[in-house]
Amino acid sequence: MAISKGKEIIEPGDVFIGNKNAPVTITFYVDYESLACAAANEVVKAVYEITPGRVRLNIRHFPLSNRHQKAMKAAEAAVAASQEGKLWELHNLMFYHRKQLGLISLKKYAKEAGISSMKFFDELVNGRYAWQVRGDLMGALGKGIRDVPAILVNNHLFEEAVSVENLERFIQDVLAISEE
């Protein structure tokens, strides 16, 4: 009897939004229930939109489960969405509805984001992507990240007040450093 291995999971670190050859990679660690992350998402989204082709995004997960009981499942939903090529769509919907992230709501948002997989809900309920979320969390802790939002630009931690102006200036500083 042959054993089916199933479809290989695309890890969050391998999922990028935008131009794969962009000179700038923003790695954004998030908790989908966090008000601060929702505000930072608007800044990251604005910078991404005003710099077409120059910035690519990598969304990573840092659910603060001790404060936000639905953050873990929301992060798992994001990983599931990335398997369908719909991470950015679901990511933004979850921030928009950050106070309503129960399983039924996540299923509704997935459909709204264009996820057609019938397995989405079953995989979410069964925790299929929990290890990927945990991997993101452990990787962030290994980099010294202790809270979110956390933004890295080409692996340099952005530690200023999160605003479009500050993030754009930081990107320019990082690019200047890399040209030296």
* Mean of pLDDT values over 12-26: 95
Position 160 pLDDT exceeds 90 = yes
Q: Is the residue at 89 inside a domain? A: yes
Residue reference for tokens 């990927």: 132
**Both structure tokens of 1:** 């009897």
* Mean of pLDDT values over 39-52: 96
Q: Is the residue at 176 inside a domain? A: no
**110-157 confidence digits (pLDDT tens):** 999 999 888 899 999 999 999 999 999 999 999 999 999 999 999 999
Q: Is the residue at 4 inside a domain? A: no
**79-115 confidence digits (pLDDT tens):** 999 999 999 999 999 999 999 999 999 999 999 999 9
**Both structure tokens of 23:** 């000179």
Of residues 103, 100, 79, the one with CA closest to residue 91:
79
Position 19 pLDDT exceeds 50 = yes
**CATH code, domain carrying 117:** 3.40.30.10
Q: Is the residue at 173 inside a domain? A: no
Q: Is the residue at 1 inside a domain? A: no
Report the DSSP pairing between strands 24-30 and 55-61: parallel
Q: Is the residue at 58 inside a domain? A: yes
Alpha carbon distances (Å) from 99 to 33, 70, 106, 117, 138: 6, 9, 11, 25, 25
Q: Is the residue at 179 inside a domain? A: no
Residue pair 30/148 in contact (Cβ under 8 Å)? The answer is: yes
Residue 81 CB contacts under 8 Å (≥ 6 apart), including other chains? 87, 89, 90, 91, 110, 113, 115
How many helices and strands in the chain, by DSSP H and E?
7, 4
Based on the structure, what is the number of domains in the chain? 1
Average pLDDT of the chain, as a whole number: 93
Residue pair 22/92 in contact (Cβ under 8 Å)? The answer is: no
- The Cα–Cα gap between 118 and 139 comes to 31
Q: Is the residue at 94 inside a domain? A: yes
- The Cα–Cα gap between 168 and 50 comes to 10
Q: End-to-end alpha-carbon separation of the chain, Å? A: 59
User: What was the pLDDT predicted at 178?
Assistant: 72
* Mean of pLDDT values over 20-27: 96
In sequence order, what E strands does the chain have? 24-30, 55-61, 150-153, 156-158
pLDDT confidence band for 180 (50 / 70 / 90) = low
- What is the domain extent for residue 50? 14-163
pTM of the model: 0.92
